[in-house]
């Protein structure tokens, strides 16, 4: 028995900034555990990683992980990450952000990056709301849910994110919940090795806002809810995995396919058009 | 079986890593439970969400009736001998306040963080 | 440091300002651009898209200016010198990210080829009505540097200067062209690479454990590191301390924002560039920039031919504004005349700096064409009374 055993997550955290700001029962910290386990299991070279986040509760992940990390503007983690990746193709660039940040204000960038198949690993923590600003409705808020800006119940149809990103062109699409810690860690480790636009949606409790307003209990109640309502259907058709306020939650790895990524396409086109005259940008000294 | 319980430190401002309970077993002629793992808890980080207690597959944990300095009830190992060191508690904990490891395994999990 | 010859198209060219700006960027070492088409700026990135695959680098046309204005910043942190190009409506969209670049001290260049506004305005016709926006367009307190070329040659030369200033001061530099300068074709001489002076990235030499992203060690500008080098730094647009960590308290805010401002203000006299002529015995000084300065030049010549004592001050750096020069001149002259292709923007800075010591007369123009020299002459004559 050793008194010096360290929590396996700690070497990956900026321990000088712990405790973090997330509420009791919030699932974001749980996703960070899965992320760090994936880093360990995949034995990825940490120096080659860069993590980019947007604004929101999930966006704060960038400030807690001990990697080159960028806390950018609301909705724009993906274009920032695109520039980072194109300037240094040796980086493995992770985008770690929330549902509002990625699918509302960032929606346009989400679909274009998927279309282009930019080699980015996107972890979208979906707590069905804009948590940081007080729990307003988001494009992912299920119909009839109460939020700060839908006080009588949301009436907008909500996004089915796996369906959206698959249609846009993502090569890896999965959804898990914070209950599915082992599967989530495994999916994250998988996307490190998958070239192209990868997207993992993780349903997570926001007990302070979403669950409270909808009388769905606390974080633990939500985890039990996930356990009860989830059904693992790997390979499910993404058109059938939409979420409702109280209904079945289909989780699993839905899409895994091969498409040439943006950089391969670019290179192939230039080589065809320019032959020897093409200078691959990795050959030049950038800066 | 001898069960060692760490006494709760009444100095609630003590933020150091506290090993609350480790399973220690002495074989005897009668069938015994040998703990395969140990769980470590950082009381001060806990926010009593209850995930670890709920999802421990062998029900090692329960929320204590004591408080940390923020008023939360951290967990403690009520059945430490059942700990397998699977670290599910560690994976669930949103506050990085608990983790489990297999006994006899490497004391610290080395991470090559220098790249 | 000398320019990388792979990006320098040495020779004598007959090209327009947009083309020359692209060549200036390449000569300065820019190897990344993200853009979005908008008249009259698009040719800059069109040329970059066609040049960069044989020079080495990347161009990506993003889905909108919101993306373009931050994609280039990701590229900077990945190690490249990067820029984007736009005009009025796109410039407005880019404002949030100009603020992000200022806050995170990301060295980069934003080119605005100004056109008639507001809103969609006059896409193919000139104006100079984004000048205040270049300085104040994003929210919060920050400083930028803004340059105004008045010829295709200057579009080449000053683009290099823009990149150099960006690297030296770690901030976004606004390159304020206008549609006429962008689309006028003139002789542009591009010298050999070893005659072009480049400021390299202020990369840290500190060991991994010691480096702090926003520590300035008594200076004003921190040293930078790039992603992928093992520094494990954190960058945020939130108010932050030397560690780069969010630290959202009034004392840290005060310290940070003042430094962002003072790193430019304390070096303002060194940064500001202007062309002065005939100021010693001038009674009237004409202050202008960009294409208007070419028209003003004619007006000044006509005025002198009439026996008027007219001096010229052409702003090459619009921001920081050379207030020290105006303050020095104002007590010695009767009046300052400020023609602009707008309804009065930089003239406000002239008024403010003159502090009532002399008259300040604007020569506004709503945009869409340039002034006629006689419009400016008329005001010079009136100012001389």
pLDDT tens-place string over residues B46-68 = 999 999 999 999 999 999 999 99
Partner-chain contact B94 A29, CB within 8 Å? yes
- C-alpha A29/C-alpha A125 separation (Å) is 11
Place of tokens 């006429």: C180
Contact between A77 and A52 under an 8 Å Cβ cutoff? The reply is: yes
Global confidence as pTM? 0.93
Percent of chain C exceeding pLDDT 70 equals: 100
| B67/A contact by beta carbon, under 8 A | no
Three-class DSSP category at C202: coil
Partner-chain contact A62 C236, CB within 8 Å? yes
Report chain B residues whose CB lies below 8 A from the CB of A1: 22, 24, 38, 103
Report chain B residues whose CB lies below 8 A from the CB of C208: 114
Burial class (CB in 10 A: 0-12, 13-18, 19+), C254: exposed
Report chain C residues whose CB lies below 8 A from the CB of A113: none
Three-class DSSP category at C114: strand
Place of tokens 């509420």: A23
pLDDT at B22: 44
Question: Among A91, A274, A283, whose Cβ lies nearest the Cβ of C227?
Answer: A91
Report chain C residues whose CB lies below 8 A from the CB of A91: 78, 227-228
How close B113 comes to chain C (CA, Å)?
A: 9
- C-alpha A265/C-alpha A220 separation (Å) is 46
Structure-derived torsion over alpha carbons of residues C355, C357, C359, C360, reported in degrees to the nearest 10 = -30
Q: What backbone phi and psi angles, to 5 degrees, belong to C113? A: -90, 95
**pLDDT beyond 60 at B96:** yes
| Chains adjacent to A (≥3 CB pairs closer than 8 angstroms) | B, C
Report chain C residues whose CB lies below 8 A from the CB of B114: 208, 230
Partner-chain contact C234 A69, CB within 8 Å? yes
pLDDT tens-place string over residues A30-68 = 999 999 999 999 999 999 999 999 999 999 999 999 999
Contact between A250 and A175 under an 8 Å Cβ cutoff? The reply is: yes
- Residue A29's closest chain B neighbor by CA? B94
Report which secondary-structure segment, H or E, holds C147: strand C145-147
For the segment C241-246, the average pLDDT, to the nearest whole number, is 97
Place of tokens 């959202």: C248
Interface of C with A in 10-39 (CB under 8 A): 29, 31-32, 34
pLDDT at B24: 44
Q: What backbone phi and psi angles, to 5 degrees, belong to B22? A: -125, 140
Question: Among A18, A25, A219, whose Cβ lies nearest the Cβ of B96?
Answer: A18
**From the candidates C70, C94, C100, C104, which should be mutated to test the interface with A, based on the most A CB atoms within 10 A?**
C70
Percent of chain A exceeding pLDDT 90 equals: 95
Report which secondary-structure segment, H or E, holds C359: strand C359-363
**pLDDT beyond 90 at A261:** yes
- C-alpha C313/C-alpha B60 separation (Å) is 81
Place of tokens 């003042």: C258
How close C157 comes to chain A (CA, Å)?
A: 19
Alpha helices in C78-113 (DSSP H): 88-93, 95-104
Place of tokens 């992203």: C213
What is the radius of gyration, based on Cα positions, of chain B?
Answer: 15
- Residue B15's closest chain A neighbor by CA? A19
How close B106 comes to chain A (CA, Å)?
A: 8
Partner-chain contact B54 A48, CB within 8 Å? no
Interface of A with B in 144-183 (CB under 8 A): 178-179, 181-182
Partner-chain contact A287 C80, CB within 8 Å? yes
Place A6 in a pLDDT band, splitting at 50, 70 and 90. Answer: confident
How close C29 comes to chain A (CA, Å)?
A: 6
pLDDT at B14: 38
Q: Quick one: DSSP state of residue B34?
A: P
pLDDT at B3: 39
Contact between C31 and C57 under an 8 Å Cβ cutoff? The reply is: yes
Partner-chain contact A63 C246, CB within 8 Å? yes
pLDDT at B109: 42
Cα-to-chain-centroid distance, residue A204: 11
**pLDDT beyond 90 at A284:** no
Partner-chain contact C228 A50, CB within 8 Å? yes
| C75/A contact by beta carbon, under 8 A | yes
Partner-chain contact B94 A13, CB within 8 Å? no
Question: Which one, of A86, A24, A63, A38, lies nearest residue A182 by Cα?
Answer: A38
| Chains adjacent to B (≥3 CB pairs closer than 8 angstroms) | A, C
> Is C205 or B115 the better-scoring residue by pLDDT?
C205
| B112/C contact by beta carbon, under 8 A | no
What is the radius of gyration, based on Cα positions, of chain A?
Answer: 19
Crossing angle (nearest 10°) for helices A262-274 and C42-55: 80
**pLDDT beyond 50 at C380:** yes
Question: Which one, of C77, C206, C63, lies nearest residue A51 by Cα?
Answer: C77
Partner-chain contact B111 A223, CB within 8 Å? no
Contact between C174 and C110 under an 8 Å Cβ cutoff? The reply is: yes
pLDDT tens-place string over residues C115-168 = 999 999 999 999 999 999 999 999 999 999 999 999 999 999 999 999 999 999
pLDDT tens-place string over residues B9-55 = 333 333 434 444 444 444 444 566 678 999 999 999 999 999 999 99
Tokens, residue A223: 């985890």
Q: Average pLDDT of chain C?
A: 98
pLDDT tens-place string over residues C26-75 = 999 999 999 999 999 999 999 999 999 999 999 999 999 999 999 999 99
- C-alpha A137/C-alpha C308 separation (Å) is 67
Partner-chain contact B91 A13, CB within 8 Å? no
Q: What is the interface pTM, i.e. ipTM, of the complex?
A: 0.97
Question: Among C79, C100, C229, whose Cβ lies nearest the Cβ of A87?
Answer: C79
pLDDT tens-place string over residues A182-221 = 999 999 999 999 999 999 999 999 999 999 999 999 999 9
pLDDT tens-place string over residues C204-239 = 999 999 999 999 988 999 999 999 999 999 999 999
What is the radius of gyration, based on Cα positions, of chain C?
Answer: 21
**pLDDT beyond 80 at C189:** yes
- C-alpha A70/C-alpha A77 separation (Å) is 8
pLDDT at C218: 86
Task: Determine the straight-line distance between the first and last CA of chain A, rounded to whole angstroms.
Answer: 51
Task: Determine the straight-line distance between the first and last CA of chain B, rounded to whole angstroms.
Answer: 45
| B115/C contact by beta carbon, under 8 A | yes
Partner-chain contact B54 A220, CB within 8 Å? yes
Partner-chain contact A82 C71, CB within 8 Å? yes
pLDDT at B28: 43
| A90/B contact by beta carbon, under 8 A | no
Question: Which one, of B37, B4, B36, lies nearest residue B20 by Cα?
Answer: B4
pLDDT at C63: 98
Question: Among A1, A46, A48, whose Cβ lies nearest the Cβ of B103?
Answer: A1
Partner-chain contact A76 C53, CB within 8 Å? no
pLDDT at C280: 95
- C-alpha A97/C-alpha A121 separation (Å) is 11
- Residue C167's closest chain A neighbor by CA? A287
- Number of helices and strands (H, E) in chain A? 10, 8
Crossing angle (nearest 10°) for helices C65-77 and C95-104: 20
Contact between A55 and A96 under an 8 Å Cβ cutoff? The reply is: no
Three-class DSSP category at A281: helix
How close C230 comes to chain B (CA, Å)?
A: 7
**pLDDT beyond 80 at A122:** yes
Contact between A211 and A217 under an 8 Å Cβ cutoff? The reply is: yes
Question: Among A68, A86, A90, whose Cβ lies nearest the Cβ of C233?
Answer: A68
Partner-chain contact A181 B94, CB within 8 Å? no
pLDDT at B104: 79
């Amino acid at each position: 028995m050793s008194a010096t055993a360290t929590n396996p997550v700690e070497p990956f955290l900026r321990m000088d900034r712990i405790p973090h700001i997330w509420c009791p029962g919030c699932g974001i910290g749980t996703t960070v555990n899965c992320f760090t386990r994936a880093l360990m299991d995949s034995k990825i070279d940490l120096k080659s990683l860069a993590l980019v986040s947007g604004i929101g509760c999930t966006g704060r992940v960038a400030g807690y992980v001990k990697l080159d990390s960028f806390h950018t503007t609301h909705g724009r983690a993906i274009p920032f990450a695109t520039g980072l990746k194109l300037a240094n193709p040796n980086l493995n660039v992770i985008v770690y952000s929330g549902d509002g940040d990625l699918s509302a204000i960032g929606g346009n960038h989400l679909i274009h990056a998927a279309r282009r198949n930019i080699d980015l690993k996107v972890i979208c923590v979906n707590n069905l709301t804009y948590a940081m600003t007080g729990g307003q409705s988001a494009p992912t808020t299920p119909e009839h849910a109460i939020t700060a800006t839908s006080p009588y119940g949301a009436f907008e149809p909500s996004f089915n994110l796996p369906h959206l990103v698959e249609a846009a062109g993502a090569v890896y699409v999965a959804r898990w919940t914070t209950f599915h810690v082992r599967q989530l860690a495994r999916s994250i480790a998988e996307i490190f090795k998958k070239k192209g636009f990868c997207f993992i949606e993780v349903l997570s409790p926001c007990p302070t806002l979403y669950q409270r307003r909808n009388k769905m209990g606390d974080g633990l109640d939500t985890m039990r809810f996930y356990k009860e309502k989830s059904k693992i259907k790997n390979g499910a058709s993404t058109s059938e995995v939409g979420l409702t306020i109280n209904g079945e939650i289909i989780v699993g790895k839905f899409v895994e396919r091969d498409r040439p990524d943006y950089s391969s396409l670019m290179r192939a086109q230039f080589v065809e058009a320019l032959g020897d005259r093409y200078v691959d940008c990795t050959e030049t000294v950038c800066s | 079986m001898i069960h060692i319980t760490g006494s709760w430190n009444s100095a609630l401002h003590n933020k150091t890593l506290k090993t609350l309970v480790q399973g220690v077993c002495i074989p005897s002629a009668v069938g015994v439970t040998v703990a395969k793992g140990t769980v470590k808890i950082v009381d001060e980080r806990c926010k009593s969400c209850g995930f670890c207690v709920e999802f421990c597959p062998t029900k090692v944990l329960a929320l204590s009736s004591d408080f940390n300095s923020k008023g939360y009830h951290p967990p403690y190992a009520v059945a430490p001998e059942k700990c397998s060191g699977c670290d599910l508690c560690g994976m669930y904990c949103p506050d990085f306040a608990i983790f489990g490891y297999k006994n006899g395994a490497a004391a610290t999990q080395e991470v090559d963080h220098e790249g | 440091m000398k320019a990388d010859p792979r990006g320098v198209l040495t020779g004598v060219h007959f090209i327009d300002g947009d083309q020359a700006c692209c060549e200036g960027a390449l000569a300065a070492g820019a190897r990344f651009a993200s853009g979005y088409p908008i008249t009259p700026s698009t040719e800059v990135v069109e040329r970059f898209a066609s040049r960069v695959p044989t020079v080495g680098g990347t161009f990506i046309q993003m889905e909108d200016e919101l993306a373009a204005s931050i994609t280039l910043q990701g590229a900077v942190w990945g190690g490249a010198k990067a820029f984007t190009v736009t005009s009025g409506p796109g410039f407005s969209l880019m404002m949030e990210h100009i603020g992000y670049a200022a806050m995170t001290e990301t060295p980069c260049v934003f080119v605005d080829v100004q056109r008639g506004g507001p809103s969609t305005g006059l896409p193919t016709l000139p104006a100079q009505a984004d000048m205040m926006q270049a300085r104040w367009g994003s929210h919060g307190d920050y400083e930028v540097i803004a340059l105004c070329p008045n010829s295709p040659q200057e579009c080449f030369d000053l683009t290099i200067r823009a990149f150099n200033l960006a690297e030296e001061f770690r901030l976004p530099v606004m390159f304020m062209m206008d549609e006429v300068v962008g689309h006028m074709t003139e002789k542009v001489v591009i010298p050999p690479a070893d005659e072009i002076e480049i400021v390299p990235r202020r990369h840290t030499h500190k060991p991994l454990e010691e480096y702090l992203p926003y520590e300035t060690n008594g200076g004003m500008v921190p040293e930078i590191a790039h992603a992928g080098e093992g520094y494990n730094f954190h960058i945020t647009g939130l108010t932050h301390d030397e560690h780069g960590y969010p630290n959202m308290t009034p004392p840290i805010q005060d310290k940070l924002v003042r430094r962002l401002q003072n790193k430019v203000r304390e070096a303002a006299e060194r940064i500001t560039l202007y062309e002065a002529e005939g100021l010693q015995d001038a009674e009237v000084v004409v202050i202008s920039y960009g294409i208007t300065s070419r028209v003003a030049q004619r007006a000044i010549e006509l005025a002198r031919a009439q026996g008027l004592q007219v001096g010229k001050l052409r702003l090459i750096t619009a921001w920081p504004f050379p207030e020290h020069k105006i303050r020095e001149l104002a007590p010695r002259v009767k009046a300052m005349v400020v023609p602009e292709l707008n309804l009065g923007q930089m003239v406000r800075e002239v008024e403010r700096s003159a502090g009532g010591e002399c008259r300040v007369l604007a020569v506004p123009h709503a945009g869409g064409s340039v002034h006629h020299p006689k419009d400016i002459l008329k005001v010079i004559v009136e100012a001389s009374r």
